[in-house]
Homo-oligomer: A and B are copies of this chain.
Amino acid sequence: MSLTKKPSTGMKDILPEEMRIRDYCISMIEKTYESFGFSHIETPCVEHIENLCSNQGGENEKLIFKVLKRGDKLNLEEAKCENDLVDSGLRYDLTLPLARYYSNNQAVLPAPFKALQMGNVWRAERPQKGRFRQFMQCDIDILGEPGNLAETELILATTTLLSKLDFKNFRVKINERKILKAMTEYAGFEADKTDAVFIILDKMDKIGVDGVKEDLIANGFSADAVEKYMGLFDEIKSLNDPTNIKALDYLNEKLSGIIEEGVIDNLKEIFVSVNTAKTAECELVFDPTLVRGMGYYTGTIYEVEMAELNCSVAGGGRYDKMIGKFTGNDTPACGFSIGFERIITIMLENGFKIPGENEKIAFLYEKGMDSERVGKIIKEASALRNEGKIVLVAKMNKNKKFQKETLMSQGYTEFKDFYVEELKN
């Protein structure tokens, strides 16, 4: 077989320039989230196939990279389906592995447990521009905290981080799965079909209100229910409140008797705490159209939207029923994931300059220098390196001018030349 230069289909090599921005981001993420008391942890990239295929991952389960069994020779003749050949796969997100991790290590972890994860995940999506089959995810989760202190801290930590990365004018949209459920019930959708309704409602930003209406009706839902549901949006809009806090009181009344007691008050408390504590230039907004795809959410859901770019850069929610599938005991859980790759893309497009980058100095020495003198030059470099400066020691090229220009394009701003002759004096 001949060798292949390109990376594996849909994956990418990361060049030094992008890597510097990624490393800067990673260090800001660590510093910021750790200051909020989150502990950095890691799970293996490879996960049991039975965990990956346990209906916690929605559409992503179709995209799993499966890993061939090792050890005994594979029995290809008797294998009837893919899963006879595999016992593991690459993780498609960090949430399911976290639930496994927590159930495995609960006894030695603090309660509540605040986890920070940064790691690659893999999805075998059709390769397309800007979408990769391996990409970094970066999640914070609070496990074991039933109250809205979890949501408040997650939102504040995420917005503080984004603001430190120079993001401004973003909005945190928040909603509640229980409000969505109550709204569908109020409108007259069958209670056992809410999941199907949510999947269609989730397309709102892609196909618009009219598209969603058509889609719902095409899927056999009653036109009356559809009209009544969408009517709520018009009524909320007419309240003319940009952050939609008024809509919460409106819905509390409208859904009274249907919605679980305290759900809307809980959301209002999050607004008060976040708005009192927040330092980032951002706005918290109640968005009744927000659904978020994953089936595992049980309560609050939220997303960070960049107003100027009209895209989401972070999202999360409460999923109180996932850990119980491992342990048998439900554990409150709430997470916020930033779109690491999208953030990097935006920073690269904006020509983000890393603040306080180290000084870069190049020591160039003439060819033919004896090895003791080379050692002394490197020793001189070491002293500067020890002060935190970046010092490249290299042989001088014939075309020194071109060499220096190239080094300047790599950020070297200072040069020191060493000639064989100097030594003789």
- Listed in ascending order, the chain A residues whose CB lies under 8 Å from chain B are 1-9, 11-16, 19-20, 22-23, 27, 30-32, 34-37, 39-48, 50-51, 53-54, 65-68, 70-71, 74, 76, 79-82, 85-88, 90, 100-101, 103-105, 108-110, 112, 114, 120, 122, 124, 133-134, 147-149, 152-153, 156, 160, 268-270, 272-277, 279, 325-327, 358, 360, 370-372, 374-376, 378-379, 382, 385-386, 388-395, 406-407, 410
Q: Is the CB of A46 within 8 A of B68?
A: no
Q: Is the CB of B3 within 8 A of A50?
A: yes
Cross-interface CB contact of A325 among B3, B37, B275, B374, cutoff 8 Å? B3
Shortest 5 CB-CB distances between A and B: which pairs? A276-B375, A37-B392, A11-B44, A16-B39, A1-B50
Q: Is the CB of A45 within 8 A of B134?
A: yes
Q: Nearest chain B CB to A32's CB is how many angstroms away?
A: 8
Q: Is the CB of A105 within 8 A of B13?
A: yes
Cross-interface CB contact of A8 among B3, B46, B395, cutoff 8 Å? B46
Q: How many subunits of this chain does the assembly comprise?
A: 2
Q: Is the CB of A395 within 8 A of B147?
A: yes
State the CA gap A371–B14 with chains docked (Å).
44
Q: Is the CB of A379 within 8 A of B276?
A: yes
State the CA gap A395–B112 with chains docked (Å).
10
State the CA gap A108–B18 with chains docked (Å).
13
Q: Is the CB of B35 within 8 A of A391?
A: yes
Q: Nearest chain B CB to A245's CB is how many angstroms away?
A: 13
Q: In the complex where A23-B40, A41-B13 touch, is A34 in contact with B374 (Cβ < 8 A)?
A: no
Q: Enumerate 16 A-B pairs (CB-CB under 8 Å) in ascending A order.
A: A5-B327, A8-B47, A13-B42, A16-B40, A19-B42, A20-B40, A22-B42, A27-B27, A32-B385, A44-B134, A45-B120, A46-B90, A46-B122, A76-B81, A85-B85, A277-B382
Q: Is the CB of A4 within 8 A of B48?
A: yes
Give A379's nearest chain B residue, CB to CB: B277
Cross-interface CB contact of A104 among B6, B87, B389, cutoff 8 Å? B6
Cross-interface CB contact of A3 among B100, B156, B274, cutoff 8 Å? B100
State the CA gap A32–B100 with chains docked (Å).
36
Give A326's nearest chain B residue, CB to CB: B3
Give A1's nearest chain B residue, CB to CB: B50
Chain B residues with CB under 8 A of A23: 30, 40
